[in-house]
Structure 1
Amino acid sequence: MNFRLITLLSLLSVTTFFACDDDDQGPSINVPDTYEFSRNNESSVSFSGQTDRILMGEELIAAMKDFSFTAQQLQDMYTNPDGVDPFANADLNASTKSIQSKVAASVDYFSTNTVAAATIKEDFTNWLNAQVSEVFPANQQLATAGTPGQIADGSSVRYVNAQGLEYNQMVNKSLIGALMMDQMLNNYLSTAVLDEASNRTENDNETTVEGESYTNMEHKWDEAYGYLYGLSANPAEPNLTIGDDDNFLNEYVGRVASDPDFMTIADDIYEAFKLGRAAIVAGDYKLRDEQAAIIRDQVSKVIAVRGVYYLQQGKKALETTPVAYGGVFHDLSEAYGFIYSLQFSRRGDAQTPYFDNSEVQAFLTDLLGDGTNGLWDVTPATIDAISTAIATAFGFEVAEAAE
């Protein structure tokens, strides 16, 4: 269907029509009730590459908690090299995709900053190696200040390095920023990517990618969508199960939306994705970019809220008597990953993160810097200082995110 030829809104219609332009006389836009778009009776939505990478991430994080894995096996899951089958899922082994290739790889942030990109990619390599070289050999000993090992956290057991950090939590939460958020906000929703080469002209003329039902611009937008909803039980209506579909961005959009202080955030993100995709179909690129800005701000806020949440949960565990160090370390390791992810955040109206790499590194240095043993020595004052700095930048109160 050509959605550029739209008539007046019927009150009985199940579809929303949206007219926009500076004078509200621009193209009329057909906004479907769900994220379903088609051409010639065939779905024009595709994001299989994003689904693959999320599944690869799921297997990698699970393997980091399996003491039978070698460092090389973890690295192979990160890089998916030719001639190696690192995954239990045969379809992933057959894929040409990898996690590493899309870590810190956005056009807007890293196309001219290859040194920073290489450093970030190496962070993950180092954390994977350290899990095997530091934590795995110590899994049967009790962790103490300056010594890796296991530590109780209620009915759970955590495995930490000498500073009290859980590498598996760091990798998990840092991938949310370095892979999912960076690719979504700074690559596929980038004007440079959406409007690359002749994309606008081809989209205006409904010129599809050879052998496919979508235009290149439509596909780029859908790939951004896939990094959040790629494993959704129903990708057309993903908020029905938001928070339950993966252990990455989807989970934490759901977690934040369950907080009454941020209860609309999942709907805000989904509706912006839906309206932006409809705007592309209609050729309204101003509206498209407005929706991209909403997504950037709201997804970035998810990371900030969860970072502050885990900082404050760690502080709460730190203030128990006796100190519940297992809870402290688990929560602050998650906070570490979310703080690391803030360098991939994006202000909706600018091509800059809320915190750049140097500011993020300063937070992480402070978190580990109250003594020689990292999280064993962290103080409530340090936790509160970092929490306040993050919350202030995003315009919410620490108390709103803390519970």
Structure 2
Amino acid sequence: MTRTSLLLLCLTVFLTSCQDDDDPISIIDVPTSYSFERNGNQTVSFDGQTTRIAMAEELVAAFSDPGNSQEDLMNMFRNAGPNDEDVAPFATAELNASDKSIRSKIAASADYFSANATGSTAVRNDFEGWIAGQATEVFPRWNELAAPGEAGQLAVGSRVRYVNAKGLEYNQVFAKSLLGGLMLDQALNNYLSPAVLDAGTNRADNLAATTEDGKPYTSMEHKWDEAYGYLFGQSADPANPLATLGEDDQFLNEYIAAVDADTDFNGIAQTIFDAFLRGRAAIVAGDYGERDRQADIIREHLSRVIAVRGTFYLARGADATETETTRGGGFHALSEAYGFVYSLQFTRKPGTGAPYFSREEVQQLLATLTESSPNGLWDVTHDDIRSVAQLVSDRFGFSFDAAAN
């Protein structure tokens, strides 16, 4: 066989293998910022995510006002009264006018909960239980000192923390659990899911540039952007969000920045942003294989953010158990850790349809922190906390020391 014949044969095999793939051969034009246009109109939109982040911030702040009742907090959670009546629970008129709510998107992803109503209900009950606990356990003892078995306040340096009878700060548990139950679940297991991106005629519509009624974007483009919005929806410049990363909201945005600031994990923010950018460009190009490869990168690294930060707070809490004078500060760290560990059940292991930790495994980890003794965090040991942290870091493949520093 001549060299020319051999080259032609190799080229034929290469092209055939490409054509056998589900995706057409495409050239992906990746911009430098998250900005995409069609016919001169911006196609990026994630208003719903921006709204829910704002609602969540107002609700978390309301946990610190003992003048609020359980009903007040619940009305904010569902953006409606108990019978779905309009009650205008927010201080911001735009939020009251919205048809969005936090509760409706808790544990509501297509991949994890569309066929798991029991699991979804259990998660929502957890959130509503933390609301009830703040209103009925902590608020009535707002001006009383906390003690083992008694809710109340603890002085931590110049700050005052408010804990339940087991030492948990419900506001921290609620806020950090939103990272998983709302934002991570919706981004990783819903909007980046092929079940959502490719629903109905989305693939054909996207290739034909058929947009949603009255909108400049295709349905597939919009779903991808909604995942992006849970990270960068409140950024000062959403097209170039890394410049103010960590300053724009108190949820995923803040903690991506915190993990990225650790030299052991530096670059994770850029990796996540680049994957969103390239995945969106792949959608425009009709390259769905590349889209899904970028979705897996996002899943891996966003899941890692939750694990790293959870391990960080567990390490802080473990250190604080060594002396009674810092135990109150340890409660704060462990309450944050509790929410991060809770959020592990919403992570997504790339290439699978499963989280890094199941709900049952997460419940076992949390029980180690709060159920090992009658008084919960008041009596939890350094070794018990460290064992939870080690299990998390081992599962994700990073060292405890890397996350703890």
Question: Aligned partners of 2:315 and 2:49: how far apart in 1?
Answer: 32
Q: Alignment length, in residue pairs?
A: 382
Q: State the partner residue of 1:50.
A: 49
Q: State the partner residue of 1:93.
A: 96
What's the secondary structure of 1:168's corresponding residue? helix
Question: Aligned partners of 2:32 and 2:76: how far apart in 1?
Answer: 38
What's the secondary structure of 2:28's corresponding residue? strand
The Cα shift of 1:368 comes to 1.3
Correspondence list, 1:95-110, <5 A: 95-110=98-113
What's the secondary structure of 1:290's corresponding residue? helix
Correspondence list, 1:1-400, <5 A: 22=18, 26-81=25-80, 82-320=85-323, 322-400=324-402
Question: Aligned partners of 2:142 and 2:68: how far apart in 1?
Answer: 13
Question: Aligned partners of 1:152 and 1:384: how far apart in 2?
Answer: 25
Distance 1:22 1:170, change over 3 A: farther
Please list the CA deviations of residues 124-176 of structure 1 after superposition, one character each: whole Å capped at 9, or x if unmatched.
11110110110011111111111110001111110000000000000000000
Question: Aligned partners of 2:286 and 2:136: how far apart in 1?
Answer: 53
Question: Aligned partners of 2:268 and 2:315: how far apart in 1?
Answer: 21
Please list the CA deviations of residues 194-250 of structure 1 after superposition, one character each: whole Å capped at 9, or x if unmatched.
000110000000000010000000000000000011100100001111111101111
Structure with greater helix percent: 2
The Cα shift of 1:323 comes to 3.6
RMSD: 1.2
The Cα shift of 1:57 comes to 0.1
Identity across matched positions, percent:
54
For the 8 Å contact 1:36–1:236, the answer to whether it is kept is: yes
What's the secondary structure of 2:182's corresponding residue? helix
Question: Aligned partners of 1:127 and 1:383: how far apart in 2?
Answer: 22
Q: TM-score normalized by structure 1?
A: 0.93
For the 8 Å contact 1:188–1:224, the answer to whether it is kept is: yes
For the 8 Å contact 1:60–1:78, the answer to whether it is kept is: yes
What's the secondary structure of 1:158's corresponding residue? strand
What's the secondary structure of 1:159's corresponding residue? strand
What's the secondary structure of 2:29's corresponding residue? strand
The Cα shift of 1:22 comes to 4.9
* Alignment-mate amino acid for residue 47 of structure 2: S
Question: Aligned partners of 2:371 and 2:223: how far apart in 1?
Answer: 42
Question: Aligned partners of 2:234 and 2:54: how far apart in 1?
Answer: 8
Question: Aligned partners of 1:118 and 1:22: how far apart in 2?
Answer: 44
* Alignment-mate amino acid for residue 234 of structure 1: D
For the 8 Å contact 1:370–1:379, the answer to whether it is kept is: no
Post-superposition, which runs of at least 4 consecutive aligned residues in structure 1 deviate over 2 A? 21-26
Alignment gaps of 5+ in structure 1? 1-20
Is 238-247 or 101-110 further displaced after alignment? 238-247
Question: Which protein has the larger Cα radius of gyration, Structure 1 or Structure 2?
Answer: 2
Question: Aligned partners of 1:140 and 1:124: how far apart in 2?
Answer: 25
